[in-house]
Structure 1
Amino acid sequence: MKRIFKLLIILVISMSIAACSSLRQKLGEPVAKYNDIRATLVTTQGDINFYLYPEAAPLTVANFINLAKRGYYDNTKIHRAIENFVVQSGDPTGTGTGSPGYFIPDENVEWLDFFQQGMLAMANAGPGTGGSQYFITLYPAEWLNGRHTIFGEYVSDPDFNKIKKLELGDVIKTITFSGDVDLFLSLHKDQIDQWNAILDKEYPNLKKYPIKPISDYGDEAKAYQEELKSIYTRHDEEKTDTEWPIPRFIRAVEKTIKGDSDQE
């Protein structure tokens, strides 16, 4: 029995080393500097942390951050909760029918899927009808693949334990962010300005959150854009027969490389 256990440990270590090597080749060195953007949902069940994926769903992430910065998501309720499936929020009316007054396009990549729990994704009423409502999966839901844009996932097990406690009526008090959020928003200033023009008509009492022109960031903007192009394969780029490791494992290896650790 002990021998089998040792063999299993050796196998796991070997796979981890191979994954680290593969990840370094895929991502290049250094590992993501600018695109390590995270969101914290401050809820009645506690703070819940998520990795965001601007490299996979840039418009979805820009829309999510802009709405949060403007206070659109403040004090929104969990208006849908299905056991062992999803919890959903992002509607100021709390009815499940509210929207920001515009649609955003779907953004799907091959390396993000619903084969694991705790994925943060956009709700919609069909292709290209995302707006502000989002959901978090409580269990693998592979039938959602290709139908909903995934733009984040939970950071640690304590975060997922809080997600599982969310119920109808629980409140998302506010959403905060870490990382180069303002620089990222500047990359999408023109689109965000269009969204804000609609938001100002639909929700005139929202906070103002001006977006700087990208030119204000000089060479840093170029470095950011180069990093966006270098990490992770986009859905519309050349496909390979290589099966992507699940995002949670990618992030775990990335944190090891960076010497990072989850903050509870």
Structure 2
Amino acid sequence: MQEAKVSHRGTSDSLVQELVNGVRARRAALSAESDPGFRQLDTLPIAKLKQDEIELTRKIFARVDAERDVTSDSKKYEIKHNIDPYWSPFHQVQDLKQQVTAEFDEYQKIVGAAEAKRTRIQIKRSLARMASVRNPYTSSFRSYHKREMPEMPPKPFRLPDTFWEPTPLQAQLAKEKITFRDLDIIQHFLADNGYILPRRTTMLSRKKQKELVAAVVTAQHMALLPYRAKLKDYQVMPLMDPLQWMADRLTDRVLEERDLRSRAMLQVMMERYPELNYRNFLKHEAVP
């Protein structure tokens, strides 16, 4: 048999609310003892709620036992029934043991999550503090693990500057104009398997290397050069009349270097071999 009212709250905060109310009552009692003029007065809304509570309790108990006069002070009377006037059919009242177990499970989950978060924070802070210790390329790592400084790594081999100076033949070939017809010039820049040598071997400029690649590709397409082999020296001859080839080379020297000797040789060739093509040289001479 229940001797007191049963709280209509079946949640986990009922115990906390009860403790808070007890703290407030104890504080009021201490204040009343220390201050004789202290009186616990109820406001109008609280007094009205208390009166409504008394009336509601009287009506409920009147249905159960109409002969007994029930007042708000239920401790003066012996309650001989198991009916709770604050019981709500819409709320499921669980067993006290199950409720406490559920509350402890919930608390354990919260504590476990907080502990895991605290551990993660500690690990991150430790990593931030000991970042240099875990880096094998720092002095803190060597001092922490008691390791000695290794010897300096060997420096990379550096070729002398004279290695990159072109030979006289390479310097002369770099001055020539490279076209697909100049097989005698192209053969100096090909490997034994027919591949084009790189710039670090040919010593050509970037522009000249592009002209070389274009000339080799065109010559291979026109079947002047094989794809996977290199021609013999006696097989590589310019694809034109040797006299015409010489006239073109002399013309290039006159146009690029203003070579007077090449100009005189062209004038002699024009008298001896008038059938050759001297159009570029004559066009240059016609310009004042």
Query: Which TM-score tier does this pair reach, normalised by the shorter chain?
Result: under 0.3
Structure in which a larger fraction of residues adopt helix: 2
* Structure with bigger RCO (C-alpha 8 Å, 6+ apart): 1
Structure in which a larger fraction of residues adopt strand: 1
TM-score by length of 2: 0.18
TM-score by length of 1: 0.19
